[in-house]
Structure 1
């Protein structure tokens, strides 16, 4: 059964929702498959039908979250292009939308992302690599769409810009979780300036 089939399965959606609740209560490290089994009311066999470990389950939740965020971003930039064609505001808004969709320190996706980076698990590593490649490819497509509509300068290398945006995005996630001071958070306009200067 493929992951996409999992996501459309009601039982698996129930597992994902329960797991997110427990993560917010206890944190990633303290959450166990036993917790998930007890709270979901499902059998051990039902959980292991989908995943072999909690880290693999966390990876699938993160993948689902990333796809959801990217869909939100896609809607945002499509609207930005329609409302502000060929303008500096439109290009800034496009970059801003990308980072705003990843800006919640208490979002389970961000908590899982940080946790999974510390795990030595080949299946999890593969999920993280798939997420990286998926996000880079979709980011590149959207930047090219912005270029075609005059929102992003044609001189910018779309693939490099996508990689830079992801680099900042990963850094923002870590900063938000580690910092307790609002002053440490980077302004979106400053990120946009750095990216634009680096690529033009």
Structure 2
């Protein structure tokens, strides 16, 4: 899609920051455009420009970023509170940090909306995050095969594996238990599996996030 004036289209706001006296620079996520940056003239007082509020936006190309010409709610704001709210900020920060601007991710759009809906429900929040992280990595081309090692051999429940983030799982004398990896693959989220999934996803994300810490993780530690 060329960067010309668009009709109203669905969007989510991922991040906002002040710009000049009364304006904003916002990071938006759209199904056909991916993550885009946009300037909102005089937008600081607009209550619709908030995370977790489904939006319809009108964008116009303006240099390296867009100009937000119109914005209206397309559905009620999702009600996230407590840890679910921090999880929502974490998901938004991952998209802001990992997605390149103007790089469409149409398959990621439904996963993002499903993730927010699951956070509203409030059950097994860590599992919701792991499923999002795995789906995000796969969509970016950095996913790994949980069912096979880098030699193509099936993962065995009685073996251990180390992670090579660029290639996948390598059989080893210690590391991630094969039984936990297979449980992740099959959606069997027992306590041990959830701990393994957290460690594995962090290791997979680390090369792409770099040394700059995630602000949303600080919120979890402060709470």
* TM bracket, shorter-chain basis: under 0.3
**Relative to total residues, which structure has the larger strand share, 1 or 2?**
2
Give the TM-score, by structure 1 length. 0.24
Between structure 1 and structure 2, the one with the greater Rg is: 2
Larger RCO (CA under 8 A, 6+ residues apart): 1
